[in-house]
Amino acid sequence: MALRITTELLGDHPRLSEIATDLPLTASWIRGSDGFIAFGTYKTHSVQGKKRFADASAWWQNELSQLEIKNNVHGVGTGPILFTSFAFSDDQPSILTIPQIVVVQKNGRSWITWIGGEQPELIKRTIEKSGLVLTWEQGALSDAEWLEAVKKSVDRIKSGELEKVVLARDLVALSDKEIDPAALIQSLETEYPSTWLFLVNNVIGATPELLVRLSKSLVTSRILAGTIRRTGNEDRDFALAGSLAKSSKDLEEHEYAVRSVAEALEPFASSTNVPDAPFVLHLPNVMHLATDVTGVINDTASKVDIFKLAAALHPSAAVCGTPTQAARALIDELESMNRGRYAGPVGWVDSHGDGEMGIALRCGEITEDRRSIRVFAGCGIVAGSDADQELAESQAKLLPIRSALTRL
């Protein structure tokens, strides 16, 4: 007998990050006042290997076939919702989660989806500062070792081996108390409301980069590549934004990333729009060169869902490099760490295959005992890169999670 899953409109409720139920927080995907918050776990599944996106799609379709769906709202993001957190590499496990309860707010409307039983009660979450004491430790590489890896990358690029590589680094924080994911989401929301705040299976962060959104037939990707750190002085930052927009090094890095996305979408989309020049995206700690690429799925294309698009787009030059295989090989050689689900696609999918997947950046992974978190940052390296400047950029990209943790 199929298990019923019901979607109903909601009235007034606390803002998404403040909602609680009698089940633990499972997942979130919030930007501004809109997004998803999820509680409890109906099912989880792990996929791995070169067919992981196709396997994830097949598993989701099979699970949907076993549910009696009663959707009284309709539209993208209604009905059953799957949360995804894919690993950067296909030889590492990617996690799929179907929550027990999902609350959604979008364009002034709110709805709730739950599995079985009566509609659950929503309460307002009260979070008090716990005063975490954190001890920070080096990750896979020390600052000096990572600087040396950047210098080696520049030499390999100048030799003609590749055009760009993205090198990542990690730090580990040990805590004297349990790290509360709900409190961390609220802390990130305070400083980074224009990013996508995500939580899936202990990977948590505030990403400014949207790998892909599929809404009916419209596909969108936001590409970020090229970064400069903000100073906090408005006039100085305005001048820095102008220099970023004219920087040959950053424009070169950005062009590789945009080109990789446009080429990946070409088999699926018509009327693809690639702006002639990027805009400067202002975040509290950094500024990025950004481009929004859009397109319409071809009528002649075989059934396209967000899994198929993510498989084509990942890894983009924004998180790997170009050519892809040469960049992957150099990452394996020089990073000295397992990225896990850092820089992998993270987000949600509905029953029609529509959804949003960001790139898991500005993030960390909390351990099962919640007593430590591993945080990540990566930088795009091209021929004109300076190792010391890349180290400073990585430190700026670590700031969102580090500063959010200090506010708990």
Q: How far apart are the first and last CA of the chain?
A: 45
pTM of the full structure: 0.94
Q: How far apart (Å, rounded) are the C-alpha atoms in residues 169 and 393?
A: 11
**DSSP string for residues in 23-74:** S-EEEEEEETTEEEEEES-SEEEEE-STTHHHHHHHHHHHHHHTEEEEESS-
Q: Residue 13 has what pLDDT?
A: 94
> What is the tens place of the pLDDT at every residue in 329-362?
999 999 999 999 999 999 999 999 999 999 999 9
What's the rounded mean pLDDT across residues 246-256? 91
Q: Residue 61 has what pLDDT?
A: 97
Domain count, the chain: 1
Instruction: Look at the block and give the residue holding tokens 């596909």.
Output: 219
pLDDT grade for 1, boundaries at 50, 70 and 90: low
Q: What percent of the chain has pLDDT over 90?
A: 87
CATH classification at residue 148 = 3.60.120.10
Contacts for 367 with CB less than 8 Å, ≥ 6 apart: 202, 373, 374
> What is the tens place of the pLDDT at every residue in 98-135?
999 999 999 999 999 999 989 999 999 988 888 899 99
Q: Residue 302 has what pLDDT?
A: 66
Extract the tokens encoding 43. 């099912």
Q: Residue 300 has what pLDDT?
A: 63
Is-cis flag, bond preceding 120, omega within 30?
A: no
> What is the tens place of the pLDDT at every residue in 219-231?
999 999 889 989 8
Instruction: Look at the block and give the residue holding tokens 């990403």.
Output: 207
Q: How far apart (Å, rounded) are the C-alpha atoms in residues 384 and 247?
A: 10
Q: Residue 271 has what pLDDT?
A: 81
Q: How far apart (Å, rounded) are the C-alpha atoms in residues 349 and 354?
A: 6
CA angle, 255 then 29 then 353, to 5°: 75
Range of the domain at 287: 3-124+133-406
Instruction: Look at the block and give the residue holding tokens 């983009």.
Output: 316
Residue 347 backbone class (left: φ over 0; alpha: ψ -120 to 50; beta: rest): left
> What is the tens place of the pLDDT at every residue in 162-176?
999 999 999 999 999
